[in-house]
Amino acid sequence: MAISFESLDSDIAGRTGKLVVGKKVIRTPALLPVINPHLMLVTPKELKGMGVEALITNAYIFSQSKQYSERVKEEGLHKLLDFDGVIMTDSGSFQLSVYGQVSITNEQTLTYQRDIGSDIWVPLDIPTSPDADRETAERELGITMERLREAKELFGNDAPIAGPVQGSLYPDLRERAGKEVGDLGFSFCPIGAVVPLMESYRYRDLVDVVLAAKRTLPRSACIHLFGAGHPVMFALAAAMGCDLFDSAAYALYAKEGRYLTTHGSFKIDELADLPCSCAVCRSHTAEQLRTAKDRTRLLALHNLAVTLAEIARIRQAITDGTLWELVDERCRNHPQLLSGYRRLLQHNAELEQYDRAHKRRFFYRGDESCARTEVLRYQRQLTWLRLGENVLVACDNGIREGYDTVLYFKPPFGPYPPDLKETFPIGQSEIPEWDAAMVRQGCRGIRMLADSHKESRIRVCGLHAEWKNIFAEEIGNAAELIE
């Protein structure tokens, strides 16, 4: 039962696609809710009714359970859970990261996952702590890779086995792991040991870890971000190229009396109103939900509904080519998410190779928009323009004569030929009143144009007085400012 992935639409490094597991198909990006057979606040049958196409459970918990260990082998995982979609099973690596040891070997857990009818099996990889020293990270990565090779040797290339990518916070180790996992032929690749980063809001580190792994993984691989639970960070993760997320947050937060939204979580005891239109929130007031006997279950249902809706919103944003705007909106809900967003933008040259050339729109949302991939790509393409000897860049809409080439100026992109006025991104971009950041970025476009066309004499006119100093600073001697 082989695993394959087909990418459909793309935006930034994010993509919509189809994950095929045997004869089952999952739309991606997708959420895999975590199911603990001993603590099911929401049943798998209910999950399917909510549109869930895949879930994840822990084979190690089943193997150690007196109640379920043999029963699941007799009945099969799908029948026992009453779920006919894709079921992925973790190996015990999570318990290994928490307790330091597990009473099962790599071969044993993979054999057990096969025997209970799991659709996607996970080897017993070593989830190295983000705080591990390099020697430890290298040693544990070596063990993980040995176990991945063992999995291929024991069960063959067509076995539905995931290839986790480890390497702690060391980008070169993550790159090495990604290449080795790809070379071994894995097409389903979870990025592991990142939960501590998300729990401590280390989103800058998360960006570096994911992009390092993406750098060497095959583009045809489906990327699963292990343990990504809160919907507020899904857009950022999708922009990095993550296709799947697994989440126990819907249940864990519910047990703590927390109410999830796409802009953070709230204590239900502190809410006066319910800012949601899911079935739970339509049928309860805040007070009724707060005092309900089955409050934890109701909160779990709400949390799941919000999380699944965000996944759908991300899929639509990728289809529309508006993922940057969604990332910008979500990441302004927490300072550390904003830090992660800014870190992502620092990788814009790397992201541009994944991003699509034409989109529905470009909305300027502040300084961060100046570093978006669309701006970077446009300014690089300025070097392709054919210019005459005497060139004018007009910063107003006046008609100019007497020049071989007349261009106009739109920040943050910079100069553009009149023929491109209606094309993306010039024609489909919305900007407010000019600000210093966008003007500086646009000036860099003029400088790039000048640096790539040394044979042309470039003049800039039509400037408002308040921008002349910025133009002079950014352009220098590359172009002449005239009235």
Q: Do 121 and 99 contact (CB within 8 A), yes or no?
A: no
SS3 170: coil
Query: For strand 3-11 and strand 14-21, is the pairing parallel, antiparallel, or unpaired?
Result: antiparallel
Residue type at position 400 = R
CA distances for 352 relative to 69, 323, 363, 398, 416, angstroms: 48, 14, 18, 34, 20
The per-residue b/e assignment along 418-433, b for 16 or more CB within 10 angstroms, e otherwise, is eebeeebbbebbebee
First to last CA, the chain: 70
| C-beta separation of 252 from 299 below 8 A | no
CB 8 within 8 Å of CB 17: yes
In degrees rounded to 5, what are phi and psi of residue 350?
-70, -40
Closest CA to 207 of 246, 173, 239: 239
Q: Scanning the structure block, which residue is given the tokens 């899929």?
A: 315
- Please name the residue that has the structure tokens 């047990």: 255
Give me the helices (H) in 270-399, please.
279-282, 286-291, 295-320, 323-331, 335-346, 348-352, 373-381
CA dist 335 and 238 (Å) reads 19
Backbone angles phi, psi at 385, to 5 degrees: -65, 145
- Dihedrals φ, ψ of 362, to 5°? -135, 115
Q: How far is the C-alpha of 457 from the C-alpha of 477, rounded, in Å?
A: 11
Q: Which of 11, 90, 119, 243 is catalytic?
A: 90
Work out whether the CA dihedral 445, 446, 451, 453 comes out positive or negative. Answer: positive
Please state, in angstroms and rounded to a whole number, the distance separating the CA atoms of residues 336 and 332.
Answer: 9
C-alpha to C-alpha distances, 5 to 31, 161, 177, 299, 319, nearest whole angstrom: 16, 14, 20, 34, 17
- Mark whether 246 is an active-site residue: no
Active-site annotation, residues = 90
